Structure 1
């Protein structure tokens, strides 16, 4: 029986945040204080926890943080006002609209109103287009974190077969684009499948790397994995306060590398959010002639 090596996201995040902190110091020496904004609509428990974690991490690396809280009883117009406020703020280099939104709110409309250069999540159509064209810009945070994880643990990606389970706009779709780019720790043959596919195992069993991004608990089982393969659980669900990953924990008996149930992709996502914020602050410094 195989016991897989762990892909510890906390280790990867620490290395990224160390670099971010150095860059923040350099910016502050030039008179630029990086700032991250968050917009939270409603009182979804996991969303509140995610936002709090982002602000805590900002403190660790000396990034200023700003927060707008909108009640679920508010209107779409209130959300759009918050977006305009952050677009106009000289203190906010980048910001996010915490997803998902309560019923009655249109996330895409708010996203389209966002200044693409302040898009900390890298989800604005302009930035997804930059990703397709391999132009500089913020990369969606969870895909960027997964690539950083593969790089940190020196896992071969180029020329390998990768199967991504899930096609969502925040993870599955941008990740498949990212890993096919002709770049280091990419340049892979990527197949995108989803929960509507009749036999997922027919695809995943041939893969060198399987990345689950479906938000479907336990969708990846041991008999779907080739012995020694790399397995990353990016999708999660919640049952009350309990986090349920896409990858069943017993997959560790087959895989060569696997993310832990806690402390896998999550910490790297937050680290990449702050890295995108620093990138935006550096762009502001260049425009001001300070870099």
Structure 2
């Protein structure tokens, strides 16, 4: 069993980008600039945005963090995004989800210019991804593909089961795994909470991507020997033995599943760091395309 170390691959990706940014500076060219919009005071969102801003600093990107109160009107938020669209110095825009219930995620995503949509959620970018065209791929699925690529996992002909059908992870990663590429060329089954005989489907899988958001949902009796398991989930579970009062659990019962796998991602330290690395690659690409 080999651990797919997202921290290690993320660092390598950021180091590569740092060299490219240093070259831009040497040549007197524009460096990438990412604008992050944070609405409200959600603890998890604060952590995620903080990690993204820190990654920008490490690589040498410019970053702007815009904090807005959770009672901001939808129209006001959309006008903030419009002003970022018009700002020629800003290459990438991300609005941290989830948003307060009175604001439409769809309207916010659709307002971001496709050319600045480094989260890869705009319908234009999703459509290009489905057609196999060059575009901004959602950061978590992109990070998963980068991880598989780094460890030279040959996915050609694999039976892949994706557990979860969200627009952020499940659906896009199923498309990427099925494309004629490397990694890719898988036969993909997308499953969810209403799937019948899920256990049997998983037992036939060479590759499982667990993105259902239920702690330790994937048990050892659902995984065949030698499978590759990618755990996207991360949930805070109360744990009195921890100083923080909680433990971070993935969607996979790691201790029991790991011994059966050829490769597996840990939680934390697996997919999470790769999501940020992929976002940084998208931001660099946005700047590069503009130049």
Q: For this structure pair, what is the TM-score category when the shorter chain's length is used for normalisation?
A: over 0.9
Give me the CA root mean square deviation. 1.2
Partner of 2:279: 273
Q: Does 1:169 align with 2:175?
A: no
C-alpha distance in 2, partners of 1:237/1:86? Answer: 32
C-alpha distance in 2, partners of 1:116/1:263? Answer: 30
Q: Does 1:12 align with 2:9?
A: yes
Assess if the C-alpha contact under 8 Å between 1:207 and 1:226 holds in 2: yes
Assess if the C-alpha contact under 8 Å between 1:68 and 1:82 holds in 2: no
Q: Could you tell me how far 1:235 is from its partner in structure 2?
A: 2.2
SS at match of 2:261: coil
Matched ranges for 1:249-288 at <5 A? 249=254, 250-285=256-291
Matched ranges for 1:50-129 at <5 A? 50-129=48-127
C-alpha distance in 1, partners of 2:288/2:72? Answer: 35
Runs of 4+ aligned residues of structure 1 deviating over 3 Å after TM superposition are: 239-242
Partner of 1:242: 247
C-alpha distance in 2, partners of 1:167/1:42? Answer: 27
SS at match of 1:123: coil
Q: Does 1:142 align with 2:148?
A: no
1:227 to 225, 228, 234: 225
Q: For residues 196-226 of structure 1, give each alpha carbon's deviation from its aligned partner in whole angstroms, at most 9, with x where no partner exists.
A: 2132111110011101011111110000000
C-alpha distance in 2, partners of 1:280/1:16? Answer: 16
Q: Could you tell me how far 1:27 is from its partner in structure 2?
A: 2.8
C-alpha distance in 2, partners of 1:142/1:160? Answer: 20
Assess if the C-alpha contact under 8 Å between 1:7 and 1:258 holds in 2: yes
Give the TM-score of the pair, scaled to structure 1.
0.94
C-alpha distance in 2, partners of 1:238/1:199? Answer: 28
Count matched residues.
Answer: 282
C-alpha distance in 2, partners of 1:11/1:162? Answer: 25
Q: Could you tell me how far 1:238 is from its partner in structure 2?
A: 2.8
C-alpha distance in 2, partners of 1:239/1:93? Answer: 37
SS at match of 2:217: coil
Q: Could you tell me how far 1:253 is from its partner in structure 2?
A: 2.4
C-alpha distance in 1, partners of 2:194/2:236? Answer: 21
Assess if the C-alpha contact under 8 Å between 1:23 and 1:278 holds in 2: no
Unaligned runs of 5+ in 2: 239-245
Q: For residues 51-95 of structure 1, give each alpha carbon's deviation from its aligned partner in whole angstroms, at most 9, with x where no partner exists.
A: 000000101100000111111111111211221121111221011
C-alpha distance in 2, partners of 1:273/1:167? Answer: 21
Higher relative contact order (CA 8 A, sep 6+): 1
Q: Could you tell me how far 1:30 is from its partner in structure 2?
A: 4.2
Give the TM-score of the pair, scaled to structure 2.
0.94
Q: Could you tell me how far 1:179 is from its partner in structure 2?
A: 0.9
Assess if the C-alpha contact under 8 Å between 1:122 and 1:139 holds in 2: yes
Q: Could you tell me how far 1:22 is from its partner in structure 2?
A: 2.2
